[in-house]
Amino acid sequence: MTIRILVVDDHPVVREGIAAMLARQPDLAVAGEAGDGLEAVEKAVALRPDVVLMDLQMPRLDGVEAIRRIRAQLPKTQVIILTTYDTDELVFQGIQAGARGFLLKDAPREELFRAVAAVHRGESLLQPSVAAKLIDRVNQLGAAPPPAEDRLSDREMDVLRLMAKGQPNKEIAQALFISESTVKTHVASIFQKLGVRDRTEAVTQALQRGILHL
């Protein structure tokens, strides 16, 4: 199955370089390119890519708002933030807007390919620096305890903690000495109890409710 990708960056050299790398992969295809946030939203709606690689600081419409609009109109399209600095506050805002995670622009090409495949599978790229920002923001807002019927089991909590570290199902299974299918069952249960659709939302909700403390 070929993964269709929209590449968004206001620097033509960066955008074209990333697109060229992706185009050489047999299981990846560049659906289109965009040079600003408004164009990104328009092309995403028109092309319906599987994954969007999104720069954050762009003219006309910034990446955070572009992510929010794309996710609202295309919930099945996943977004990876492309950033220069992993401590940028905009990264946190982009995650809140619906991005699956982020990737540094100078990351090795193999890491880029793995990231695209991972988010397409429904996994997240939530790294410690962004997790820390989530925790800080949650602490500022305060958190209410979850209803008793929605409380996660001890094993589900184990799975959730490893999800928060960005580990895929296979690595979680190995760490907990359980099968990958059992991990998938736990993940589905976590999603249902938290009322979320993906891993990034699950971690964010768990932090906001005070269920998870990293």
Letter for the amino acid at 100? R
Torsion angle in degrees (nearest 10) through CA of 165, 203, 192, 154? 60
d(CA 169, CA 45): 30
Question: Between β-strands 28-34 and 51-55, what pairing exists: parallel, antiparallel or unpaired?
Answer: unpaired
Look at residue 47 in the predicted model and tell me its pLDDT: 96
Q: How far apart are CA 139 and CA 159, in angstroms?
A: 22
Identify whether the C-beta of residue 164 lies closer than 8 Å to the C-beta of residue 158.
no
What is the block-wise mean pLDDT of the chain (214 residues), using blocks of 10 residues? 94 91 93 94 96 92 92 92 73 83 84 89 68 56 52 89 86 91 90 84 80 72
Amino acid at 207: L
Residues 113-170 have pLDDT tens digits of: 988 998 898 877 765 555 555 556 555 555 455 554 468 888 999 999 888 888 888 9
H or E stretch at 72? helix 63-73
Q: In order of start, what are the domains of the chain with their CATH numbers?
A: 3-123 (3.40.50.2300), 134-208 (1.10.10.10)
H or E stretch covering 119: helix 109-120
